[in-house]
Amino acid sequence: MVFSHAVVTGGAGFVGARLCAKLLAQGTRVTAVDNFSTAPPGALDPVIEDPRFRLLDHDVTKPIPVPGPVDAVFHLASPASPRAYLDRPLATLRAGSAGTENALSIATAQHARFVLASTSEVYGDPLEHPQRESYWGNVNPIGPRSVYDEAKRYAEALASATRRSKGTDTAIARIFNTYGPGMRADDGRMVPAFVTQALSGAPLTVEGSGRQTRSLCYLDDTVAGLLALAASGHPGPVNLGNPHELSVREIAEQVLAITGSRSRIVHVAAAEDDPRRRCPDISLARRVLGWTPRVSAGEGLRRTADWFAARRVAV
């Protein structure tokens, strides 16, 4: 399905910028909305000159001035890395509450398809494994991570209530551990931290025991899942992630092997409320979207390391 005009909040972010590029490649006119509080520099350089692309420098917690007609709204605006949302706790909560309400207002007024970029963080430190969409989660509502977890849980509740009360065509995507070229080196997430440490010869800092698991989903696979969900008409929630589970220690070791680095691995204190296991059940995505991730962790980490290495050489 090709949309005529899509609004992408958080459109200058790591995932948002790639989504904008994919939409433009499909023939969609795109309005990206971002206040650039956490956006990686240059993320929109590949599309900024496209005449079908418009960039709106705007805070989504205020009403969003986008003229119609609009037939798709993708709401991605939020600090996403632990470092970003811990530094901006109240802004993160407002993005999930007022920001979601303002994005939903556009979709409702324009009778547009609305896709919420939620997160696997709604499952918290899960007691079910792998995590299915029917699982309600195990979140500490007052811990430091709750500003992100609960903001997304509230956004899901708001999208669902708006669908029931106003008939808005909403969908919820629960995104797992997305990574790839274009991430900020300093955003605090595991993959860019390991890659930049390995390339610079610094120790790779593994939090806690390193036995905690993650399921890495390459950027292009995540974006393909968002587009498939938008085209499907399914309300979700739908898990978008790679069910190939790796321990954090294994990911660090893969990065060392890919980069040829002689850096050592050191263990540091675990973050508070850090999930011990994280792995999606993607049966629903396979069935209703025909979607499954295509890029293996090894290949995705190689592409990511090559991208960071090229930037180091250029600098």
Active site residues: 148
Cα–Cα dist 18/32, whole Å? 11
The enclosing H or E element of 151 equals: helix 146-166
Cα–Cα dist 75/122, whole Å? 16
- What values do phi and psi take at 82, rounded to 5? -55, -40
Residues in contact with 61: Cβ distance below 8 Å, sequence separation at least 6, in sequence order: 91, 94, 95, 98, 99, 102
Cα–Cα dist 73/289, whole Å? 18
In angstroms, the Cα distances linking 178 to 228, 249, 259, 283 are 17, 18, 20, 19
CA angle 38, 44, 50 (to 5 degrees): 150
* Selection from 243, 246, 242, 256 nearest residue 211 by Cα: 246
Q: Which residues pair with 205 in a beta bridge?
A: 266
Q: Are 69 and 6 in contact (CB under 8 A)?
A: no
Q: Which residues pair with 311 in a beta bridge?
A: none
- What values do phi and psi take at 177, rounded to 5? 35, 60
Placement of tokens 């190939």 in the chain: 244
Reduced 3-state DSSP string for 70-100: CCEEEECCCCCCHHHHHHCHHHHHHHHHHHH
Using CB atoms within 10 A of its CB, is residue 190 exposed (0-12), middle (13-18) or buried (19+)? buried
